[in-house]
Amino acid sequence: MQSKGLIKFLVIVVSLACLYSLSFTFVTRKVERDAASYAGGDMAKEKAYLDSIASETVFNLGIAKYTYRECKAYELALGLDLKGGMNVTMEISLDELISNLANKTKDEKFNTALQQAIQKSKTANRSIVDLFIEEYKATGASTSLATFFATKDNATLIKATSSDNDVRNFLQKESDNAIQNSYKVLRTRIDKFGVASPNIQIQQGTNRILIELPGVNDEARVRKLLQGSAKLEFYETHDNLQVYPLLENVNRTLAGTLKATETTPSTASTGDSTAVDSTDNEDNLLANLGANKSESTDSSAISANLAAENPLFSVLNPAVYTAENGQPQLATGPMVGMANLKDTAKVNAYLARPEVKSIIPSNIKLLWAVKPEQRTPNALSLYAIKPAPGDNPAVLTGDVITDATDNFDQNNTPVVSMSMNSVGAREWRKITAKAAQNREAVAIVLDGVVYSAPSVNEEIPNGSSQISGSFTIEDTKDLANVLKAGRLPTTAKIVEEAIVGPSLGQAAIDAGVNSAVIGIIVVMIFMIAYYNRAGVAANIAVLFNVFFLMGVLASLNAVLTLPGIAGIVLTMGTAVDANVLIYERIREELRLGKSIRQAIADGYKHALPSILDSQITTFLVGMVLFFFGSGPILGFATTLMIGIITSLFTSIFISRLIFEYMLDKDMKISVSLPWSANTLQNANFQFIKKRKTLYGVSLVVVGLCIVSILTKGFSLGVDFQGGRTYTVNYANSVNLEEIRQNLDNTFNLTTEVKTFGSANQVRVTTTYHINETSDEADEEVLAKLNEGLSKVEGNKYEILSSQKVGPSIATDIKDRAWWSGIISILIIAAYILVRFRKWQYSIGAAIATIHDGIIILGLFSILDGIVPFSLDIDQHFVAALLTVLAYSVNDTVVVFDRVREDLTKPGAYSKNFGDIINHAINTTLSRTVITSLTIIFVLVILFIFGGEVIRGFSFAILVGIVVATYSSIFLAAPSVYDLSGKKHFTTSTDTKAKVVTP
């Protein structure tokens, strides 16, 4: 074996890297178990415990230390279907954007075109900007489009004389800005909400933003938070010198009203060793609170005493600096204090107390910064804002901003340039003149948090300003986005929503783990039972494969979903495929009389082309799923692709290293047991001779499936048809027809009710208010659902999960599903054409995959309503279908590779082409059967133990593997025989192709 030392080194490096990546997950799980044990079931107490140690070091590697918060950022996160929580898709209303950019014109043709574009966008997978321009042209209007958009606010961006193409570019740029700015606003709101490990991402090529909030159980609050309009405001500020006496008063008031036992903080960051009397003068208090902040104290009693007498200042450090004389002095500016992230909630609680609120004047408002500064990564600054009297406390709002860009000044320092319209410029001149005169700052506030509070150096007369500070390039980009968000002329609404309760999530975890463990055990037993000692080597490779797979997922910060676990279980089955190919070739080489060392070397060498071809085709399908899928399907695609890479590495290199070790130690190596040594060894089935009969069988089955698809159709999942789906668990068994009748009467339309797992659990799907995505519509649907469900007397129920999909996004999901299937087949056909250099092979593979796809679709149509589990056509089904198509090609390519190999042997062209294909199928038959059986074992386990959520998914793959095995044997290669006119030709890439008539 060449480069053995390099491979060993690589195995060690990859193993250490995976162990490092997974170690963060081990640490966070231990901390969370400790928190749960400490809380004893009290969720508030558990959260408080985790908050208190967020900034504490929990993982010490010697060369690096990590806090709990940092470990959470690197852990292998669980998806909503495993952890519970809320998944939301927000859609930015680009039609509203277009209308607002045109100052809500009353022009009839303009508005007609916009309405037509909205309707077409629901079914056409195209930009609403392009649709709107097309529709407006179709009206035959004589007024130029640019006329509508050349307003005062847009004067610097578009002119009345601009062309339609300029208008398109302008609208597209504003659309992109609206999406990016909405993303920024939503990101900030989610960070404020305090969700652990949230996931928020723009769905590329769309006007949608996907948000996953694990562990959230206050859905109404989330909806309100996410759908609120962004509110950018400019405020005058107070100076710290003016506000400190007030904070001192608050501190004294709290000390007088709180008991010592209630004011002991988790940590006191004030850092002095002497107790402070609350009646001391300001200088003495400052000296005690502000001195020696970098020093730590070992006296918890003194710290507790300090906290008891100065409750506010024990968690909020006043804004001070060390003067030349070494004494702390109050800093100037609007920042009045700083608190550790874990202590901000306590500061808020203190400031919200009635006795404190009563002494804070109405013209002082204390707001937190949006995020920590670089020099204080674990602390937030508190600012003193000066609200104006009346209904409009801000001196200026963000709607006056026309543009904002991140830039660099003459010293190459990151700055933000901001411009305003004429109204804003006029007010800005007054504001900056006053602030410059009094040496004050102006705070930029979005959604109640301070993004920046720059000092004003001079009056700004024209509305064009430059904001500078201790900014990074990322800071200026963020601030520019925030300023543009202030003129965000559109809103975001929820068009898709899924809620998973924690109990259902825990059940999914249990089912996933059980299926994975049982799957590993079954695979390992089978490999040893069939391949003897070689099976042990394969098992070690499989274990390494799972370890590497989990490590890579953790290093990529991937989110593990239930379909992802299914992908891991499936990967364990397919990982064996490479070993089976190798072992079957070793057995062939041994039958030729070669030594075990030579047989192993040749077995790996000859099996490699088939291994690569079969795995690459599956990887290509995984890529299609990754780019066209969303949510849990992304998790499945990611796991599938990574699993293919890791299984190739472990099967080719690690198992080879084990064999080399055994050979060096003169250990006996066997690749079979007596009962399995001759399995299908002398197979000589006449596949070509019987092909027409088998063609007929396939045509009859395909015909029946097509008839069922056209007549009976499918049961579409909510993500394909739109609507709302709820998983409901009753205390006792229920009658489906009774529930269906109750809900039909309540909703006044047909409701879909199916058993979901056990007899006391159902899944309800309704299209009531399908076009309404507002909170009011959600509440009405839920109220009617509860009304119908409660009619089952004496049987308590609980809604475990819910999902909402708007009709526009359902159409988009269907379109993406169709395209993913078509593109997968085209990519596979193209790959086979490149590898085998003949179109007959591509068409043969395409015939087999289309055959498999139709049969799986047909079975889902025929069996729907007959089998006792859901057979909905949804995203999970599409993932399963494409996986089966990939496996079908995987199997087919192995046969094709053997045909190609046999054609390169001496005397091949003197043989009948049909005999060559027969020989190829028969010699690979044992590999095909063993691999299929292994995967079928794993899928049966996944089907039984994997849980109801993926039962339809695992059933589709299970049936598909059986069908794919059939088609790869009986259809693919025989089709090549007929398509080539029963003539054979070389497919070698290094010889000129030729056709030979036998």
pLDDT for 162-200, tens place per residue? 888 988 998 888 888 888 877 777 776 676 665 556 777
Which of these, 146, 233, 152, 177, lies nearest to 404 by C-alpha position?
177
Read off the tokens for 876.
Answer: 């999970």
Least confident of 91-95, 790-794, 892-896, 946-950: 946-950
| 525 and 642 belong to one structural domain | yes
Residues 590 and 598: beta-carbon distance below 8 Å: no
Give the per-residue pLDDT at 486. 57
Mean pLDDT of the chain: 80
Higher pLDDT: 493 or 996? It is 493
**Cα R_g (the chain), whole angstroms:** 34
Indicate the pLDDT class of residue 272, thresholds 50, 70 and 90. very low
Q: Region 633-639: what's the mean pLDDT?
A: 77
Which pairs count as long-range contacts for 620-626, CB under 8 Å and 24+ apart, including other chains? Answer: 620/824, 620/827, 620/828, 620/831, 620/886, 621/824, 621/827, 621/828, 621/882, 621/883, 621/885, 621/886, 622/886, 624/820, 624/823, 624/824, 624/827, 624/882, 625/820, 625/879, 625/882
Instruction: Let me know how long the chain is.
Output: 998
Answer yes or no: do 162 and 201 share one domain.
yes
**Residue range 641-653: mean pLDDT, rounded:** 88
- pLDDT tier at 336, thresholds 50, 70, 90: very high
Q: Please return the burial class of 595, using the count of CB atoms within 10 Å of its CB with bins 0-12, 13-18 and 19+.
A: exposed
pLDDT of residue 665: 86
Q: Is residue 575 within 8 Å of residue 526, measured between CB atoms?
A: no
Comparing CA positions, the residue from 561, 500, 491, 626 lying closest to residue 90 is 491
Q: 820 lies in a domain?
A: yes
**Domain housing 9:** 4-75
Spatial contact of 659 and 604, defined as CB atoms under 8 Å apart = no
Q: Please indicate, yes or no, whether residues 870 and 992 belong to a single structural domain of this protein.
A: yes
- Asked whether the predicted pLDDT for residue 293 surpasses 50, the reply is no
CB count, 10 Å around CB of 832? Answer: 25
243 domain-assigned: no
Question: Once rounded to an integer, what is the mean pLDDT over residues 879-901?
Answer: 81
Domain stop point among 47, 75, 103:
75
- Tokens 């590495």 belong to 649
SS3 528: helix
CA 495 to chain centre: 17
pLDDT above 70 as % of the chain:
87
> Strands 414-420 and 328-330: what pairing?
unpaired
Sign of the alpha-carbon dihedral angle for 536, 537, 542, 543? positive
From 182, 210, 227, the end of a domain falls on 227
Is 481 within a domain? yes
**What is the rounded CA–CA span in Å between residue 64 and residue 501?**
37
**830 and 971 share one domain:** yes
Asked if residue 355 is part of any domain, the answer here is no
CA angle, corner 796, sides to 791 and 801, nearest 5? 95
Q: Give the chain's count of helices (H) and strands (E).
A: 34, 27
Amino acid at 684: N
CA 287 to chain centroid, in Å, comes to 50
975 vs 982: CA distance, rounded Å: 10
Going from the C-alpha of 283 to that of each of 241, 287, 291, 293, 348, the distances in angstroms are 13, 6, 11, 16, 26
Distance CA 377, CA 189 (A): 19
Residues 465 and 510 in one domain: no
Cα–Cα–Cα angle for 362, 364, 368, rounded to 5 degrees: 130
Say if 496 falls within a structural domain. no
Residue 361 vs residue 630, higher pLDDT:
361
> Collapsing DSSP states into helix, strand and coil, what is residue 961?
helix
Residues 914 and 832 in one domain: yes
Q: Is residue 267 predicted with pLDDT exceeding 60?
A: no
Looking at residue 399, which CATH number applies to its domain?
3.30.1360.200
Contact status, residue 38 vs residue 49, Cβ threshold 8 Å: yes
Please report, rounded to a whole number, the percentage of residues in the chain having pLDDT higher than 90: 9
What CATH number is associated with residue 754?
Answer: 3.30.70.3400
How far apart CA 305 and CA 295 sit, in angstroms, is: 18
Among 564, 512, 521, which Cα is nearest to 542's? Answer: 521
pLDDT of residue 229: 62
Q: Domain check: are 102 and 176 in the same one? A: yes
Residues 6+ apart with CB under 8 A from 43: none
The larger pLDDT score, comparing residue 244 to residue 817, is at 244
Q: Are 454 and 467 in contact (CB under 8 A)?
A: yes
Residue 401 and residue 463: Cα distance in Å, rounded? 9
Which of 25-29, 599-603, 942-946 comes out lowest in average pLDDT? Answer: 942-946
The mean pLDDT value for 920-924 works out to 87
Task: Write the CA distances from 483 to 446, 451, 849, integer angstroms.
Answer: 9, 10, 53
Q: Catalogue the E-assigned strands of 53-186.
A: 57-60, 65-67, 77-78, 85-92
Cβ atoms 432, 442 nearer than 8 A = yes
pLDDT at residue 276 tops 60:
no
pLDDT at res. 454: 85
The encoded tokens of residue 158 equal 């578009």
Rounded Cα distance between 744 and 746, Å, is 5
Domain co-membership, 642 together with 689: yes
Q: State if pTM tops 0.75.
A: no
Does 717 map to a domain?
no
For the chain, the domain total comes to 5
Do 465 and 431 share a structural domain?
yes
Q: Given a cut of 60, is residue 840 above it in pLDDT?
A: yes
Tell me how far apart the alpha carbons of residues 995 and 998 are, in angstroms, rounded to a whole number: 10
Say whether both 817 and 857 belong to one domain: yes
- Residue 359 placed within a domain: no
Strands (E), 272-325: 317-318, 320-322
- 675, part of any domain: no
> Residue 885 has what pLDDT?
79
Contact 883, 620 (CB under 8 A): no
Average pLDDT over residues 518-529: 84
Domain final position from 786, 805, 824: 805
Q: How confident is the model at residue 824 (pLDDT cuts 50, 70, 90)?
A: confident
